[in-house]
Structure 1
């Protein structure tokens, strides 16, 4: 199994898709509890949701599941949200706080997984950002995520539909963040927040270097916006998804338009 699939475009936007993959090596899968084997914490169908949504966009998709290793976590294992419930580089619990391993991996195995899966994904992502930056003088990483709208272990209440993460403004030019927020705020029937519970994972924080011409934004979507149900079998709802695609397409077109101003700086 190739750790990562890359679809190259000629535009300034790179779509990172770290959590839609479902591949788990059979020997690893056998060590998961029944809860773990349900793969409920997958960013279900996010690759389909963003497929061909913006002509010219590059996409970098991890094929492995986040239970193998989480491509959006610090490879050192440092927590993204100190003091809050979260999951780590190799999760030991589900998003509900339930154990997912009958025999959890140790330090050496985690390092082997990092080398086999995490590192190739980020090598591909970094390579595409460098390529796009060389072409345009600016590159925008748009990190594509989704999660169930209610996960009490991670956050209280119901998550807004659009969750924009910019590492509290440090990961991108404020004009990009303002433009994304404006599109989301005007989307009828949807709710949004900027730098709320999800301010951006390690990918957003690591690559977002506006002073060097690389901007990063994470979009965490509530899965209720495009799934038939947020429970198994997590079926894609084409009607809801098509409506959502109109708005996320508008978000990406707004980003693309604003990069013209950034290129001219």
Structure 2
């Protein structure tokens, strides 16, 4: 496999994870995709660009290089479903609209998929684990922000239009309730944006697996409606006019995480 992730080590106790930003495909996946999937419509488009301020902020950043169509880094390695109702698995078989992802008879083999698990999924999760452990050892706690985005209208997955900012803390299990409350306050103060906590998106495997408040690791997932920063149809163009005000809210959210952590652990 080629380079499977990018990683930047920061100077503050915050790790930002971007598991669905990758565009890379293996030959087996590329050859098998149905025509509507070739544009990679279910990608978390432009997330590294949207969070390009994070390094200057002092955060560590890990981002996937391979597409979720190869393997979904936000699913457990045993592929147990995370959500009731329509969803996608460790090896996606459908697009978000419910249509098949692969042409008949051209699904990657079990051997190929085992390679993806070992050479794409595991390195990403090993990186998260090592960095969270390093941050906790260095600061006494670690903050994990799992950065996602999705089209605001996907009838197959959810009813109506998605709120702009969808915060997930696995119903309060992945972070301190006071941190979640602080983040909700930031969203509430952001004029022109809607938000929800633990709505349709409560946090995927990364949030649920690594969030461990009792051991001083606090994890939050943000599922951001793509209408806040880009065109949601092909060619999925980045909209600077939309992105700039959205970035200000994102920066405020990450700063709120850091301020909460500093205050909470220096009491």
**TM-score band, normalised by the shorter chain?**
over 0.9
Q: What is the match of residue 188 of structure 1? A: 191
Equivalents in 2 of 1:184, 1:145: separation in Å? 16
Does 178-187 or 24-33 show the bigger shift? 24-33
Alignment of 1:84-103 (within 5 A): 84-102=85-103, 103=106
Contact in 2 for aligned 1:41/1:95 (Cα 8 Å):
yes
Equivalents in 1 of 2:5, 2:53: separation in Å? 18
Contact in 1 for aligned 2:32/2:108 (Cα 8 Å):
no
Matched residues, number: 263
Q: What is the match of residue 150 of structure 1? A: 153
With structure 2 as the length reference, what TM-score do the two structures score?
Answer: 0.96
Q: What is the match of residue 160 of structure 1? A: 163
Equivalents in 2 of 1:109, 1:2: separation in Å? 17
Q: What displacement does 1:106 show?
A: 4.2
Does 53-62 or 175-184 show the bigger shift? 53-62
Structure 2 unmatched runs, 5+? none
With structure 1 as the length reference, what TM-score do the two structures score?
Answer: 0.97
Contact in 2 for aligned 1:4/1:124 (Cα 8 Å):
no
Equivalents in 2 of 1:196, 1:27: separation in Å? 35
Alignment root-mean-square deviation, CA: 1.1
Q: What is the match of residue 236 of structure 1? A: 238
Contact in 2 for aligned 1:138/1:262 (Cα 8 Å):
no
Q: What is the match of residue 10 of structure 1? A: 11
Equivalents in 2 of 1:225, 1:245: separation in Å? 10
Contact in 1 for aligned 2:19/2:63 (Cα 8 Å):
yes
Q: What displacement does 1:111 show?
A: 2.1
- Structure 1 residue matching 2:32: 3-state secondary structure: coil
Q: What displacement does 1:67 show?
A: 0.3
Alignment of 1:12-91 (within 5 A): 12-53=13-54, 55-82=57-84, 84-91=85-92
Q: What is the match of residue 260 of structure 2? A: 258
Query: What CA deviation, in whole Å up to 9, does each residue of 1:108-151 have, x standing for no partner?
Result: 33222111100001111111111111111010100000000000
Alignment of 1:212-231 (within 5 A): 212-227=215-230, 229-231=231-233
Q: What displacement does 1:257 show?
A: 0.4
Structure 1 unmatched runs, 5+? none
